[in-house]
């Protein structure tokens, strides 16, 4: 697949890049994408949820009514989960939600996501650019010039650029990452994938491993 490289003013630079079909032109595997996205979201969970059971609630341990002749049910503790303020039965406990996923499955998922974007013509390649200072308005202008979909843009840089990142931080539908941070979830969550020229070669090298 061949794409034109754009300047940040929206005009074509005259250069064209070829995307490797082994990465951007495969038959997408939906189940691999599902597994990779599931793992990504699971890894974001802190797993620190916790409720107190009856052994942890701060109440008296005194038997609240006599065993017999009360005319009601037998109760041994006010900490029981049937009373207001009592401990919770079968409540959540701290746990680790992360799980293992094979590298080949993750690689297949990432290539599948990239292939979906290529099929949708949702990949734009721009010349490498820098910003002298964090300017959100300037970044918006660049994205408008290259006609990036405002519903969701993922900008992939070859290396970290603090000014570009800070310029995007206040934009709800724009995310800036480096090529080493590229993942299936972010690719699928974006409507337009903006690659700075040279990033596609790194992606192709990573997927070929």
Look up the pTM and report it. 0.83
Number of domains in the chain: 2
pLDDT at 207 over 90: no
pLDDT in tens, 116-136: 999 998 999 999 988 889 999
Residue 191 in this model has a pLDDT that exceeds 80: yes
pLDDT of residue 21: 87
Residues 37 and 109 both lie in one domain: yes
Q: Are residues 137 and 156 in the same domain?
A: yes
Average pLDDT over the chain, rounded to an integer: 90
Q: Are residues 71 and 152 in the same domain?
A: no
**Which CATH number fits the domain that encloses residue 105?**
3.40.1370.10
Q: Are 26 and 115 in contact, with CB atoms under 8 Å apart?
A: yes
Shared domain for 27 and 105, answered yes or no, is yes
Is the pLDDT reported for residue 183 higher than 70? yes
Across the range 65-77, mean pLDDT stands at 89
Task: Give the domain extent around 84.
Answer: 52-91
Tell me the mean pLDDT in the region 171-188.
Answer: 92
pLDDT tens figures, 13-39: 888 888 888 888 899 999 999 999 999
Q: pLDDT at residue 209 above 70?
A: no
% residues pLDDT > 90 (the chain): 58
The pLDDT of residue 10: 83
CA neighbor of 179 nearest in space, from 160, 153, 164: 160
Domain co-membership, 78 together with 180: no
Same domain, 39 and 69: no
Q: Which residues of 165-201 are buried (b: 16+ CB within 10 A; e: fewer)?
A: bbbbeeeebbbbbebeebbbbbbbebebbbbbbebbe
What pLDDT digit, counting tens, does each position of 138-158 carry? Answer: 999 999 988 887 789 999 998
Q: Are residues 121 and 33 in the same domain?
A: yes
**Do 107 and 197 belong to one domain?**
yes
Give the H or E element holding residue 22: helix 21-24
124 and 35 co-located in one domain: yes
């Amino acid at each position: 697949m061949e794409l034109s490289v754009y300047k940040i003013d929206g005009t074509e630079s005259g250069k064209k890049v070829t995307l490797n079909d082994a990465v951007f032109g495969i038959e997408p595997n939906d189940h691999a994408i599902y597994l990779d996205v599931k793992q990504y979201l699971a890894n974001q969970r802190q797993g620190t949820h916790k409720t107190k059971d009856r052994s942890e609630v701060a109440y008296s341990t005194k038997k609240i009514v006599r065993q017999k002749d009360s005319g009601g049910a037998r109760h041994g503790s006010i900490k029981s989960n049937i009373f207001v303020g009592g401990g919770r039965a079968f409540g959540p406990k701290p746990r680790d939600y992360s799980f293992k996923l094979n590298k080949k499955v993750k690689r297949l998922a990432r290539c599948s996501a990239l292939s979906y974007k290529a099929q949708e013509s949702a990949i734009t390649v721009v010349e490498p650019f820098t910003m002298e200072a964090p300017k959100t308005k300037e970044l918006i202008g660049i994205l408008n010039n290259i006609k990036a979909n405002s519903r969701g843009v993922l900008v992939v840089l070859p290396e970290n650029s603090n000014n570009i990142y800070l310029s995007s931080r206040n934009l709800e539908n724009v995310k800036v990452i480096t090529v080493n941070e590229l993942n299936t979830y972010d690719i699928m969550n974006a409507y337009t994938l903006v690659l700075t020229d040279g990033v596609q070669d790194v992606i192709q090298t990573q997927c070929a491993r």
